[in-house]
Amino acid sequence: MVILTLNCGSSSAKYQVYDWEAKDILAVGIVEKVTFAGSFINHHVKGREEITLQQDCPTHTDAVDLIIKTLTSKDQGVISDMSVIKAVGHRVLHGGMKFTKSVIVDEAAMAAFNEVKDLGPLHNAANIMGIEAAKKVLPHVPHCAIMDTAWHQTMPPESYLYALPKEWFEKYQARRYGFHGTSFLYTAKRAAVLLGQDPFKTNLVICHLGNGASVNAVKDGCSFDTSMGITPLEGLVMGTRSGDVDAALPFYIMRKTGMSAAEMENALNKKSGLLGLTGQYTDRRDIQAAAVKGAKEALLAQHIEAHRVKKYIGGYQAALGRVDALVFTAGVGEFAWFMRDKILNGLEGIGIVYDPRKNEMSHTRNTETIISKPESKIPIFIIPTDEELVMTEDAFALMQGAYDIHTKFTYSFQSRDYVNKGRAEGLEHELAKTPELTEIIARPR
C-alpha cells in the first residue's frame, strides 16, 4: 500500500511517496515555479541520483499531473500505476477554530478551508488548489487534510486571546492560532521518547527555525503557547517576515509614505525580517558567510534574530514553570550551528548550558543529537522534524477509521524502538566519515 503526501505552496508542490508495508520512503521531490515560466521537478528515488526535469506548470493541476507522470514513469517512476496509491495526505496551513485534528476532505471541510482563506491568503489558497488538483487526478481515494493549526487548539484562552475588543474574536475569530503544528507534534513526541517520560507529563520549549520560524511552549504534552499569531507573521524574526513589531508602527509608516494596507501587508510579510535587515539575504548560510567576512548588517541581523529567540525561550520557561528539554528543529534549527551558538550563549542563568564543540558537530538530518553539557539542568536536543511521516500516519489512520486527536492516538515514532530506515542508512554513511558523531547521538533514557 502506497500513501502520497502533498504540500502545495503558492508556487511549489512538494511530495513524498511512502510504502506502508515496508515502512519506507520510495521517493520525494518538489515541483518549483508553479504558475510561472520555467517550471521544473526535482525528483529523488531511494538509491538513485536525483533528477531534474523541465516542464511548464501554469496551474497546480499541471504540477500534480507532472508528479503523477514522474512517479509512474518507466525510467524515473516508483509505482506501476495510480491504483497503488490508497490515500493522499495534504498539508493545510489554516483550519481556523473548526479543526482540532486531521480530517478526510469532504465538501464541508473544503467550505471551511475557504471560509478562513483570508487568515492565510497565500498558503490556504495554494493548499486548496492542490487538493482540488489531486482529487481530479485521484478521484477514488480518500484525501486527508493535516492542519498546521490543529496542534495548537489545546492552548488556553490566556494564551490565544488578544487584548482587543471582544467582538473581534466573537464575530471574526481574531485570535492566536499558531502554525508549524505538524512539526511540533512530531518533535514533542520524540522528545518525550528521548527523555523516557510520559508524553503527557512532559514540558518542552521547541524552536522550529526555518525561513518561517516559531517557538512552542508544550505543557503536559500539549501546545500551551506559541509565537505565531492569527497569521504566520507574528513572533520571531524570519526570512522575509518582520515578526513582532509595535502595532502602531505600520500606521506611522503608512501616514509618512502613503502606502496602502495591501502594500504594508506585503512589506511586513515579504520585504522585512532578515531580508529587510541585510538588504539582500534570507538564507542564514549567506548571512553567515557575509558575517564572517565582516559585513556589519549580516552580523547585526544574526544578533537580532538570536535575541528574539532567547526572549521567547526565557518567557516560555517562566510560563511553564518547569522545562524538561529545549528542542531545536527545522532547517536552521537542525543545521545552522552558528545561530544556535548565538541563541544558547548566555542562557546558563536559566539552567541551559550548551557545549560549543558538540553544537558545532551537530548538523545532520539523520539522527537526533544532544548538545548540552552534563551540568545543564535542561537538556538541549536537536530533533530533525518529519512532518511527512505525521501526514502519512494520519492519512492511513483516517483511511482505516482508526484516527483520533493526538491525546488519544499513538504514532509509530513514539516507540523507543522506532527507526527511520532512510535516515538510519544516511547515518551509517555519515558515521563512516565522521565517527565522532556518535558522541552526540541522543538515545532514549
Q: What cell numbers appear for 23 in the block?
A: 515502512
Asked whether the CA dihedral 223, 126, 33, 236 is positive or negative, the reply is negative
Strand partners, 40: 32, 54
Catalytic residues: 148
Whether residue 259 contacts residue 267, with contact meaning beta carbons closer than 8 Å, is answered with yes
Which three three-digit cell numbers place residue 400? 482505516
Q: Who's near 288: CB < 8 A, 6+ residues apart? A: 298, 302, 336, 338, 339
What is the residue-wise DSSP string for 49-97?
--EEEE---SSHHHHHHHHHHHHT-TTT-SSSSGGGEEEEEEEES--TT
d(CA 148, CA 128): 14
- Within 13 Å and on the Cβ side, how many CA atoms surround 328? 33
Give the number of residues written for the chain. Answer: 445
E strand intervals along 255-304: none
Which triple of cell numbers denotes residue 61? 493541476
Confirm if 91 and 182 have CB atoms less than 8 A apart: yes
